[in-house]
Structures are given as C-alpha cells and as structure tokens.
C-alpha cells in the first residue's frame, strides 16, 4: 500500500465541490456579458450604460466581500457557503425579470429625482443581488481549503478549484448564446441560475468540518494538520479577531493591493471581450462561441499550472511564501504579451484572442497564488476576513477599470477610433501585475506569519 493510499484522499472530494461551486459562480456571472451586444441593441445601451451595470456588480461585490469573509468565519463554512450560492442563484434568475423589476422600482428612484431607464435599473438591481451572493464563494472556498489541506498543498488545491472559473467561462460561451438564440435571453438566465440549487444538495451531503468528518481517516486528518504547530492550533480557540486589527498588518495591505490592481483585469476580460469582438471584428451571437471557449480553455493551464509552480521553488529550499512570490514575479511577466494584441490584431482576430488568452491564463496562475499568501501568513480563524478585505479592494479596482473603459470606448467611438480605447485598456491590463508584485514585495519582503492574533 502506498503512502497516499494510507493517508487517504477525501480532501480532494472537498476540492471537487469547491471546483464545481466556482464553475457555477462564473457561469452565472458571465451570462450578461455574452448577451450584452444583443441586449445593448434591444434596449439602446451605450458603452457607458453597460459599464454602469457592470460597475454596480463590482461595487456591490466589493462591499459584500468586506463582510462576506466575516460572515463565513462566523456562520461556518458549510452554512455560509450554502447561503451564498442560494442567494446568487436566485439573483441569476432575477435577471430574466429585470424589466419587471425595473418597472417596480423606477417610481421610487424618481421620487429622489434619479431617473434611470427601466432596463438599466432592473439589470443593476439584479447584478447587485448577484454580487451580494457571489461574494461568499472565494472566502468560503479559501477557508475550506485551509481546513482540508496542509500548507504545502493549498496553492495546488486552490489552483484546481479556481480553475472552475475557467470552466465556467468556457461553458458559458458554448451554451448561453445557443440558449438565447433558440429559447430567448430570459431562459438563458433562468437555466444557468438553477444549476446552483443542485450543487447545494451535494455540499450538504459531503461536507463537514474535518474533525467531524466521518469519511475522513485519522491518517488523513493528521496529514492535514501536519504543518500546524501547537501555538497556532491553540490560537484557533481564541475569540475571533477584530476586523480593524487586521488593517494594522502590512500582510493585509499587500494582499489587498495585489487584488486591487489585478482583479479588475480579469473582470475586464470577462465582461468586455464579447463587446470587443463585436466592435473590432463584427462578431455577434454564436460567432463568439469558439473564440471565447478556446481563450478560456487556455486559462485552465494557468490556474492549475500556476498552483503547482511554487512547489518547484519550495522543493529547492524556499519557504512557502518566498517560493510563491518568486513564482508570482515570473507569472507577472506573461501579461505583457497583451500589449501586442492591438498592433497585431489586423492579421486575424485569433491573434488578440490567443494573446489575451495568455494574459488571462497568467491572471489565473496569479490568482491561485495570491489567495494562498493569506493562508501562508494568517491563522485559519482570520483567513475569511482577510480574503474579504482583499476581495473588497479587488471589487473597487474592478469598478474603476470598468468605468474608465466604458468612458474611453464611448469617447473614441464618437471619434471613429474605438480601437484606441481598447489599446489603452489592454496596456493597463498588461502592466498591472508587475506593479502589484513590486508593491506587495515592498510591503512584505520576507515570510512573516501572523502569530499575535
């Protein structure tokens, strides 16, 4: 019998559940962006209108992330994750009734002299509720990973479940345009939104805290806790850390700045690529299915490979954090290729698709590692809260990049040069990771775990 067989592998069942939850998360999140070209024509949205709708999601996500981690820490991983996915699944379905919802609330906004078109208001409200629910995914998933995996396996496990974002991004363009074409855009929101309720059934059946998990062997439980020293283990029994105390640590600010600089890049690709392919190459409806599916298929390699990459340096003697930061610097170089997307885009639309795919793949590799820096340095009781703070920062970064992008695209579209707007935004996306890395490295130059919480 091998060592792995002796230890057991139930922890990977939990990782699979986290993977599927993240897949559903990104399926629900991406439906609007895939339908945006058609919805923009149907309801007369400008790029700024669409940017405002996406910005509401990002802003609500940012604020919700601030409290989602605390919510997960307080309620527990099992119940907290359940509430999150139920809320966001209901919100995904709400989009199908956005016109009715907008009509119900338009009068209320009018009383405060805020006149918003019905379609825009309805989608804004639906996106806000979606963001509120989806904010719980990553704090819960990171906390579950910290509960079920030793530190040396966490970045790999994170890379695996984080690749669910890529699978969701792949499945969405392969299904949503087809559903909308044959059954209408409302049904696309309804069918995709309903998937989350199926996941909840499996989550309640298979998940429990490791010390209460009957399917987990004693050997595997000991392996999970193998790199948790007695002082840290004892600290887990102490009363939950106060939120403001976390802001006193440079480690918190390093994670938050890294998320602020880079989360918006991923969301820009996710929310704006369908409109980019339409504006630049006239691609609409099912035309975008194959290019986007291939682009997001590339990101699978980044997510899983990026999660594995730090182990190369760890095996050479680096501690987990220093090995991770070394890997993240190399990863941060790859998005620079996005600078070539527009200059070479005249050859074929496949050139920017592949180059942006490399950039998006690098983001997923980066994401798998930046999340894990939190569990490297903070005790388990604070992980959800710190991830929430970073998520808020990432959401605010997303609001900024979406609003700037929408304004740029409308400005240059009026001048007949919308391509210039995309050139500027791609340049911002390309350099964001290097800036983030240098600031993070300056704040936390060496591994320094938090032991006084």
Q: Model-level pTM?
A: 0.78
* pLDDT computed for residue 1 by the predictor: 43
* pLDDT computed for residue 371 by the predictor: 78
* pLDDT computed for residue 231 by the predictor: 39
Q: Name the stretches of the chain with pLDDT < 70.
A: 1-5, 109-114, 227-241, 453
pLDDT single digits (tens) 138-158: 889 988 998 888 877 887 888
**How would you write the chain as a 3-class SS string?**
CCHHHHHCCCHHHHHHHHHHHHHHHHHHHHHHHHHHHHHHHHHCCCHHHHHHHHHHHHHHHHHHHHHHHHHHHHHCHHHHHHHHHHHHHHHHHHHHHHHHHHHHHHHHHHCCCCCCCHHHHHHHHHHHHHHHHHCCHHHHHHHHHHHHCCHHHHHHHHHHHHHHHHHHHHHHHHHHHHHHHHHCHHHHHHHHHHHHHHHHHHHHHHCCCHHHCCCCCHHHHHHHCCCCCHHHHHHCCCCCCCHHHHCCCHHHHHHHHHHHHHHHHHHHHHHHHHHHHHHHHCCCHHHHHHHHHHHHHHHHHHHHHHHHHHHHHHCCCCCHHHHHHHHHHHHHHHHHHHHHCCCCCCCCCHHHHHHHHHHHHHHHHHHHHHHHHHHHHCCHHHHHHHHHHHHHHHHHHHHHHHHHHHHHHHHHHHCCCHHHHHHHHHHHHHHHHHHHHHHHHHHCCCCCCCCCC
* pLDDT computed for residue 132 by the predictor: 93
* pLDDT computed for residue 5 by the predictor: 52
């Amino acid at each position: 019998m091998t060592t792995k067989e002796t230890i057991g592998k139930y922890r990977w069942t939990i990782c699979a559940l986290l993977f599927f939850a993240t897949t559903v998360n990104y399926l629900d999140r991406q439906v609007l962006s895939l339908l945006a070209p058609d919805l923009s024509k149907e309801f007369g949205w400008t790029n700024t209108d669409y940017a405002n709708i996406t910005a509401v999601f990002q802003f609500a996500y940012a604020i919700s992330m601030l409290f989602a981690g605390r919510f997960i820490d307080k309620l527990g991983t099992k119940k907290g994750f359940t509430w999150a996915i139920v809320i966001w699944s209901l919100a995904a379905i709400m989009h199908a009734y956005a016109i009715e919802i907008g009509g119900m609330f338009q009068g209320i906004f009018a009383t405060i002299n805020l006149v918003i078109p019905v379609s825009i208001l309805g989608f804004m409200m639906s996106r806000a509720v979606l963001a509120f629910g989806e904010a719980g995914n990553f704090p819960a998933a990171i906390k579950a990973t910290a509960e079920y995996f030793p530190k040396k396996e966490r970045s790999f496990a994170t890379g695996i479940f984080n690749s669910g974002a890529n699978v969701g991004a792949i499945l969405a363009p392969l299904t949503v345009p087809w559903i909308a074409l044959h059954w209408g855009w409302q049904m696309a929101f309804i069918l995709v939104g309903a998937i989350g309720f199926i996941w909840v059934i499996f989550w309640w059946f298979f998940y429990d805290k490791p010390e209460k998990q009957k399917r987990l062997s004693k050997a595997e439980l000991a392996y999970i806790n193998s790199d948790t020293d007695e002082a840290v283990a004892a600290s887990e029994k102490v009363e939950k850390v106060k939120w403001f105390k976390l802001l006193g640590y440079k480690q918190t600010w390093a994670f938050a700045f890294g998320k602020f600089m880079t989360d918006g890049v991923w969301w820009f690709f996710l929310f704006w690529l369908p409109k980019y392919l339409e504006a630049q190459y006239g691609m609409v409806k099912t035309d975008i299915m194959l290019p986007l599916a291939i682009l997001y298929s590339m990101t699978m390699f980044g997510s899983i490979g990026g999660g594995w990459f730090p182990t190369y340096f760890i095996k050479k003697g680096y501690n987990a954090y220093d090995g991770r930061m070394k890997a993240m610097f190399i990863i941060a170089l790859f998005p620079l290729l996005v600078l070539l997307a527009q200059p070479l885009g005249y050859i074929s639309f496949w050139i920017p698709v592949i180059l942006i795919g490399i950039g998006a793949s690098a983001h997923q590799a980066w994401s798998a590692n930046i999340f894990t820096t939190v569990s490297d340095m903070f005790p388990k009781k604070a992980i959800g809260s710190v991830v929430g703070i970073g998520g808020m920062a990432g959401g605010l970064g997303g609001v900024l990049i979406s609003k700037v992008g929408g304004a740029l695209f409308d400005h240059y579209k009026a001048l007949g040069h919308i391509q210039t707007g995309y050139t500027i935004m791609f340049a911002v996306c390309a350099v964001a990771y290097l800036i983030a890395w240098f600031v993070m490295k300056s704040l936390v130059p060496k591994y320094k775990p938090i032991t006084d919480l």
